[in-house]
Amino acid sequence: MDSTVAFMMCKMARDAGNKIKVFDWDKAAQIIKERKAADASAGLSMDWEWTGGVIFRDGKPMPKEKTYVYLASLWATPELEIDSEIIDCWKWQEDTPGWGANTYWPASALKILESEGVSNG
């Protein structure tokens, strides 16, 4: 998406009083675990080109320094991609104290992965 269009979408959402959606790392970990996924990516709807990236590769969380994701928005929905399926995967930021656009594999999500034998490499 063109950055000018993204800026305008954000301004319209802010003016409308929209709340911030953040990526739900705990839900993503649960889905990855349940599906025994080897790989997964995350990004924002309509803006994956600028916000999306690999979060899980070869059965392990991708190190933060080897990927890029931006996973919070007033107007776009955070999504998880597994096996070419896109799944809405978010919470309101106000319900996840401390989580924001740059949150990456918080301890709670890693614990979910580890509880079923998925390594955090």
pLDDT tens digits, residue range 48-93? 999 999 999 999 999 999 999 999 998 899 999 999 999 999 999 9
pTM for this structure? 0.83
Let me know: does 12 contact 86? Beta carbons within 8 Å.
Answer: no
Q: Structural domain of residue 55, as residue ranges?
A: 3-115
Q: Would residue 121 count as lying in a domain?
A: no
φ, ψ for residue 66, nearest 5 deg: -110, 10
b/e sequence 45-60, b meaning 16+ C-beta within 10 Å: bbbbeebbebbbbeee
Integer Rg of the chain from CA: 14
Encoded tokens for 62: 């991708």
Q: Would residue 67 count as lying in a domain?
A: yes
Comparing 5-19, 26-40, 65-79, the range with the smallest average pLDDT is: 5-19
**Number of separate domains in the chain:** 1
Burial class (CB in 10 A: 0-12, 13-18, 19+), 7: exposed
Residue 13: the pLDDT is 58
Q: Would residue 8 count as lying in a domain?
A: yes
